[in-house]
Amino acid sequence: MSPRTRRTADRLPPPTASEAAFERALASFDKIRMTGQTRGTTGCVDDAMGDSVTPSLSKGDGGASGTPEEGRDDFVERAYRESASYLVREPFASIGEAHRFHTKIVGVSFEGRQDVVAGLREGYELALERQPDNPHDANAIAVRYGQLQIGFLRKEIAMHVAPRMDSGTRYRARIESLTGGTAAAPGGGARHRGVNILVERVAAESARSQDGALQRAHVRGDAVRVALIGDRQPREAQLAVLARVDAGKNTLAVFGTGRGKSYCFQYAAACRALESEQKTLVLYPLRALANDQYDALSRRLDGFGLRVHRANGAISSEEREDLMQALHTGDWDVILSTPEFLQFHYDAFTGKSRPSLVVVDEAHHLFESKHRAAYGRLGRTIAALGDPQVLALTATADAEAFEHIRRELRVDAWVIDPTVRENLHIVDARATKEKAEYLRRVFGDGGKAIVYCNSRAEATKTADALRKTYGNEVMFYHAGMNSPDRARVEQLFREGALRVVVATSAFGEGIDLPDVRHVVLYHLNFDFTSFNQQAGRAGRDGGYAQIHLLFGEADRRINEYIIDRSSPTIGVLRELYKGMRGLASGGVLRLSHVDIARTLEIGKADERTVAAALHIFEDENLVELGSDDDGRYVRFQPVTGKIDLSKNERFAEGEAEREDFARFCELVLKAQPSALEAIVNRPIYPERAELVR
């Protein structure tokens, strides 16, 4: 299927962690609880699930933003005044963050431009020109073919792209398809000609200069380290891991939460790519984790010219096409993937795309998830890629798991960081009803605190409630805020001008502050890794710190509701396929995902479920998805024989998320605080193992 046939809305990159799901799912969950019905629910998946819903930064980079000149009180008061607008979800809000997007040029019917458009052809290169003095729109971006102006980017897109162009970001464009011109319009005459274009952000190439040794020495010795961990020096255990990786050894690192596992592979992957074009494949047990790491790595190493991709069933069709093209040509440096994606697309990682380093993060899943087909054969799959070097990382490897990982990945070196963070203490406040009052009491000690919520709206509401007690020392933080405002919150919190930040998971990877005295898990996480990561952000200076658990059994039901809608079961997939086929006319269905869900009224299915199901059906050649002059369509394909949807990559990833969440809940909702404290503050490793080999 040609990328030209898809609508713009399908091509925006998904988030790695979106809070939209929790808010909508919570509203829908309450409705179900009161009415027992599912009609009209519109819940979409939470950021932690990392599925294909477009992330929405409700205020683009063109909005007001904090600056160093704006004092704390002025900034905080402005942010609270604008807090409602941060929660408005624009369809194009994430365009500024996208590396590429498709859109239709507007204004092609004016000033004789139809004659110009008539002479254009698919594939023609176009230029984008900022027009800050445009009397109609200060964010105007004209689209030109040579000296000829064709039209403009639509205003809703330009408001997010223009500030980036003004700050030096460069874009290029080309014609993807031409529409109209010949077919009769409904009222007679010819349709107006239209132009659909692909816009791509030109990646910075500063770190890929031809200045050989000098540039490589600069990158390796300083720039990558500073980009990843700031002015701090790596810990001794981190340096020991990197030394073994540099020596070409298959290495296992066992580090406790907050001890810097990610730095080991991020640094190695970036330096290898920049110095010698070596490729690194990183594997995660869940697509949400891969998406979170993708966001963090892209943000930290922006400007180095690294070609980073994520590979899982939750990414959009557009992003998937980019990924598959990069795999075909070998034009990539780092891919963050799930084992299922590697299993189903093994052939794509051969030839020009053969990785020189494979990183297995959360490597204990090799042992704990042997029943997952992708993990059961992961060691053989990696070996079949030509025996690339392996770096495995985990915080949990008892004697049996340790030996299993060593055997499967042929590990010949390891580094165990035995540090026990005895300063961390779990406070069991699970199922607390008066959460705001609890927080007011806890924060009276004057220490810095992070409160983690699953929802942008809940983070804003909770911060506002705490502000009534603690004034402008309290601020919210979520992905709906524009980048400058988020950076300002981080800066003020780091400096101590802010004392409490109430945040979603967007305040995550890369937030490495030493003096956080309290971390509050206001809602239930979706997996062990996010639980450990958020809890582990407390007390990194070694001082006394508390982790407060405020979630309860009700959170479990809400999260299950979210997972079911983003990861349809076999039963729901069958019902949706049968129902959609029944709605089709002549084998073609032209309804939005929302309308399909509302018309069919299948339990545990909303527009997110429909979108996920259609991607699975497309993978299995059951349908063709596309759009034409009449809009988006689903075309049902001829089917011969039985199709086993359970063997689909996207389905397998969804089942893994469902299973992982169930296992997580069984422990975190029932375990004694001492057991949870042990999970957070120390690594698990064989008692008799050498610490370094």
Residue 36 is assigned to a structural domain of this protein: no
Three-state SS at 578: helix
What is the model's pLDDT at position 437? Answer: 95
Write the DSSP symbol of residue 606.
-
Per-residue CA distances from 273 to 97, 200, 331, 357, 562 (Å): 23, 22, 11, 11, 37
Same domain, residue pair 353 and 463 = no
Residue 648 is assigned to a structural domain of this protein: yes
Same domain, residue pair 399 and 258 = yes
Same domain, residue pair 407 and 523 = no
Q: Does the structure show a pLDDT above 70 at 328?
A: yes
Q: Does the structure show a pLDDT above 70 at 541?
A: yes
Three-state SS at 446: coil
Residue 67 is assigned to a structural domain of this protein: no
Question: Per residue in 641-687, pLDDT tens?
Answer: 888 998 899 999 999 999 999 999 999 999 999 999 999 999 999 98
Same domain, residue pair 484 and 586 = no
Instruction: Domain count for the chain, please give it.
Output: 4
- Residue 354, domain extent: 207-416
Same domain, residue pair 569 and 588 = yes
Measured over the CA atoms of residue 106, residue 111, residue 112 and residue 113, the dihedral's sign is negative
Three-state SS at 519: strand
Same domain, residue pair 218 and 340 = yes
Looking at 61-65, 383-387, 640-644, 662-666, which range is the least confident one?
A: 61-65
What is the model's pLDDT at position 36? Answer: 37
What is the model's pLDDT at position 383? Answer: 94
Q: Among candidates 649, 487, 557, which has minimal Cα distance to 79?
A: 487
Residues 339-356 have a mean pLDDT of 95
Helix segments in 93-230, DSSP class H: 113-118, 155-166, 212-218, 224-229
Question: Per residue in 200-259, pLDDT tens?
Answer: 888 654 444 444 444 444 555 578 998 898 888 999 999 999 999 999 999 999 999 888
Question: Per residue in 425-436, pLDDT tens?
Answer: 999 999 899 999
Q: Does the structure show a pLDDT above 50 at 404?
A: yes
Residue 69 banded pLDDT, cuts 50, 70, 90? low
Per-residue CA distances from 158 to 93, 94, 132, 143, 239 (Å): 10, 12, 11, 11, 45
Residue 561's domain is classified under what CATH number?
1.10.10.10
* Contact of 262 with 421, CB cutoff 8 Å: no
Q: What percentage of the chain reaches a pLDDT higher than 90?
A: 62
Q: What percentage of the chain reaches a pLDDT higher than 70?
A: 84
Residue 295 is assigned to a structural domain of this protein: yes
* Contact of 39 with 601, CB cutoff 8 Å: yes
Same domain, residue pair 167 and 128 = yes
Residue 501 is assigned to a structural domain of this protein: yes
Same domain, residue pair 148 and 272 = no
Write down which residue in 202, 230, 245 finishes a domain: 202
- What's the number of CA atoms in the CB half-sphere (13 Å) around residue 561? 25
Q: Does the structure show a pLDDT above 60 at 272?
A: yes
Same domain, residue pair 659 and 673 = no
**Amino acid identity at 573:** L
Residue 135 is assigned to a structural domain of this protein: yes
Residues 586-610 have a mean pLDDT of 92
Backbone angles phi and psi of 449, in degrees to 5: -145, 145
Residue 137 banded pLDDT, cuts 50, 70, 90? very high
Strand 194-201: give its sheet, edge to edge. Answer: 100-104, 194-201, 171-179, 125-130, 141-145, 148-152
**Amino acid identity at 200:** E
* Contact of 574 with 462, CB cutoff 8 Å: no
Residue 136's domain is classified under what CATH number?
3.30.70.2330
Higher pLDDT, 494 or 25: 494
Same domain, residue pair 370 and 269 = yes
Buried b (16+ CB within 10 A) or exposed e, 235-272: bebbebbbebbeeebbbbbbbbbbbbbbbbbbbbbbbb
Per-residue CA distances from 512 to 109, 237, 262 (Å): 52, 18, 12
* Contact of 301 with 270, CB cutoff 8 Å: yes
Residue 281 is assigned to a structural domain of this protein: yes
Buried b (16+ CB within 10 A) or exposed e, 76-113: beebbebbeebbebbebbbbbbbbbbbbbbbbbeeeeb
What is the model's pLDDT at position 167? Answer: 80
Higher pLDDT, 642 or 365: 365
* Contact of 545 with 519, CB cutoff 8 Å: yes
Write the DSSP symbol of residue 581.
H
Write down which residue in 171, 202, 233 finishes a domain: 202
Cα–Cα distance, 313 to 375 (Å, whole number): 17
Residue 53 banded pLDDT, cuts 50, 70, 90? very low
Crossing angle between the packed helical segments 287-300 and 649-668, to the nearest 10 degrees: 100
Residue 225 is assigned to a structural domain of this protein: yes
Question: Per residue in 521-539, pLDDT tens?
Answer: 999 999 998 899 899 999 9
Residue 235's domain is classified under what CATH number?
3.40.50.300
* Contact of 614 with 648, CB cutoff 8 Å: no
Question: Per residue in 285-302, pLDDT tens?
Answer: 999 889 888 888 887 887
Residue-averaged pLDDT of the chain: 85
Write down which residue in 141, 168, 202 finishes a domain: 202
Tokens of 193: 């000609």
- Give Rg (Cα) of the chain: 25
Residue 180 banded pLDDT, cuts 50, 70, 90? confident
What is the model's pLDDT at position 221? Answer: 56
Residues 418-422 have a mean pLDDT of 94
Same domain, residue pair 586 and 646 = yes
Cα–Cα distance, 572 to 130 (Å, whole number): 48
Residue 169 banded pLDDT, cuts 50, 70, 90? confident
Element (H, E) at 292: helix 287-300
Q: Does the structure show a pLDDT above 50 at 31?
A: no
Question: Per residue in 239-254, pLDDT tens?
Answer: 999 999 999 999 999 9
Crossing angle between the packed helical segments 570-583 and 607-619, to the nearest 10 degrees: 90
What is the model's pLDDT at position 642? Answer: 87
What is the model's pLDDT at position 17? Answer: 43
What is the model's pLDDT at position 13? Answer: 40
Q: Does the structure show a pLDDT above 90 at 626?
A: no
Cα–Cα distance, 634 to 317 (Å, whole number): 14
**Amino acid identity at 215:** Q
Read off the pTM: 0.78
Q: Does the structure show a pLDDT above 60 at 49?
A: no
Same domain, residue pair 226 and 245 = yes
Tokens of 444: 């009276």
Looking at 174-183, 499-508, 535-544, 621-630, which range is the least confident one?
A: 174-183
Q: Does the structure show a pLDDT above 60 at 544?
A: yes
